[in-house]
Amino acid sequence: MPTPTQSFFQYDLNVEIPATEVAVVVDALDGEKLSLRDRLGKEELGRQLEAQEIDVHLKMDRSFSDFQRDIETISTYLAEPISGRELHVEVTPQGPSVKGWVILAWRGKSERLALDVDWNADEQVVADRGIDTDAARQRWNELPEWVHRSVANRRTGERG
């Protein structure tokens, strides 16, 4: 990726849906307001759900304000926590500046945690080192237990 000349937002969501939950998720999401359905198309979202995985990678010039709400909605119908990633790359005279968040969701609730990200000028990509541990520590005592488990699982490579 060459150095960007315009600021942009990037949204990533990859959710595996257990075979035992697919029918329930498909039926439940059909009645929900879901911006991803509009962005991907009803047929594509349906195809992904039937394939037991939602895999979204969007690069946009404007913020996708409903992204977190969509993750919350999807998480309502799954037994395990899920997560998505939001990046904002701002082009400045000094070079690209990056902010990022992981959005963790479970049972319709969500929390945003800052990511440790910056622009890697040598490789011309966003360098994502995962959750910003200093920022997470500052909020740790106010975060729900399910977030603690999700963060621990992310460190060990498990889902959530």
Is-contact 119 96, C-beta < 8 A?
yes
CA pseudo-torsion sign 121, 125, 131, 136? positive
Question: What local confidence, expressed as pLDDT, does residue 31 receive?
Answer: 87
Beta partners for residue 16, in sequence order: 53
Question: What local confidence, expressed as pLDDT, does residue 154 receive?
Answer: 78
Half-sphere exposure of 62 (CA within 13 A, CB side): 3
Find the domain containing 120 and state its range. Answer: 8-156
Q: CA-to-CA distance for 78 and 20, rounded, in angstroms?
A: 10
Q: Is residue 12 part of a domain?
A: yes
Q: What is the DSSP letter of 32?
A: S
Q: Is residue 76 part of a domain?
A: yes
pLDDT tops 60 at residue 159: no
Beta partners for residue 88, in sequence order: 9, 99
Q: Is residue 2 part of a domain?
A: no
Q: Is residue 99 part of a domain?
A: yes
Q: Is residue 3 part of a domain?
A: no
Q: Is residue 26 part of a domain?
A: yes
The count of structural domains within the chain is: 1
State the average pLDDT over residues 45-61.
Answer: 95
Q: Is residue 120 part of a domain?
A: yes
For residue 118, what are the contacts with CB-CB under 8 A and spacing of at least 6?
98, 126, 127
Q: Is residue 1 part of a domain?
A: no
Question: What local confidence, expressed as pLDDT, does residue 1 receive?
Answer: 61
Average pLDDT, the chain: 93
Q: CA-to-CA distance for 52 and 48, rounded, in angstroms?
A: 6
2-11, 33-42, 108-117: range with lowest mean pLDDT: 2-11
**Which residues of the chain form beta strands (DSSP E)?**
8-16, 53-60, 82-92, 95-106, 109-120, 125-131
- Residue 153's pLDDT band (boundaries 50, 70, 90)? confident
Q: Global pTM?
A: 0.91
2-6, 24-28, 122-126, 135-139: range with lowest mean pLDDT: 2-6
